Amino acid sequence: MRELKILAIVVFFTLVTYYGVEPFAHSKMHKHVEGHGFVYDGTADVEQASDEKKETKKAFWNDVNEIAKLEGNVAAGEAGFAMCMGCHMDGAVAMGGVVPPSLEHAGALYDKKYLIAVVKNPAMAMNTDHKFADPMMHPMGPVMTMFMDNQSIADVVAYLKAKKAGEVTPKEAFTDACSRCHAMRYAKMTQLGDTPTFKYEKDALAYKINVLDAQDGVKGYMGKLPPDLSIIIRARSEHFLETFIENPQTQLPGTSMPRVGLNEEGYEKVKEFLTEIGDPSKPKREAVGPYVILFFVVFAFLAFLWKKYQWRDLH
């Protein structure tokens, strides 16, 4: 019993020291940010808005919520979607520094209200309206002239949710949501996609020049080149990634990074790919963990019995 009492005292003071210092330091260095479950109804935006913008944001998101109640016509939405393909197509050129994303999986990856908001006013939906005095100056601003009434917005979003919502792989989710700005060298991905292999060095150099041009475009739009995400899954906590992706302004006020509008399923796909690349040994580590703990429990028990045996004549 004496040994167990000593162990209990050591464990107690270790836990007091750890939980008394680490959480306190963490709370001072990083403010707590509440997530909203990847639901985009404007609540967070209105709460964070300055007094002069609060009413504008409230009116915008009230409109979004009203449009979400409309029943969209998929057939009519298909006709509207054809206009989107002028920019969102294979081989699309950069607009304002960033290549428009493919919309093949938009209905599966993105939240319905976010899609409505991004068609109605991209700068406001992405929560980067602080960068654009005129929302038409946003690279995607012209979409506001393509869908002028609420029903046409509801129709094109209904089409996306019905026809562009197939199965998405983790890599496809990352490509659509992140890779147009963020490289991932551990996955051999740049802002142009997967890095091909080249037979001749001149071809490799030509490709590298194209990558540098693409990165300059992103720098022009974002102000600086966004970080490589190869090990971001290990560098940041899950809560930070979740809240930052949901609304970058909460963790980094004034950032140029736009909200991408992932729903919860889309976020899980992106996280799965980040984990696959940044922490590939995690499944093996989690599988071995219980056996390691069991080993220490058995070892401690045997060590206790051995100590009792060796000291049996001394007490």
Render pLDDT for 276-290 as a digit per residue (tens, 0 to 9).
Answer: 999 999 889 999 999
Q: For the chain, what is the mean pLDDT?
A: 91
Q: What was the pLDDT predicted at 32? A: 81
In this prediction, residue 98 carries a pLDDT of 85
Instruction: Report the pLDDT value the prediction gives residue 302, as an integer from 0 to 100.
Output: 96
23's CB contacts (< 8 A; 6+ apart) are: none
CB 217 within 8 A of CB 98: yes
Q: Which residues make Cβ contacts (< 8 Å) with residue 182, sequence separation at least 6?
A: 191, 226, 227, 228, 229
Q: Is the pLDDT of residue 315 over 70?
A: no
Reported as a single tens digit per residue, the pLDDT across 127-176 is 999 888 898 888 888 899 999 899 999 999 999 999 999 899 999 999 99
- CA 180 to centroid of chain Cα atoms: 13
Non-local (6+) Cβ contacts of 78 within 8 A are 159, 163
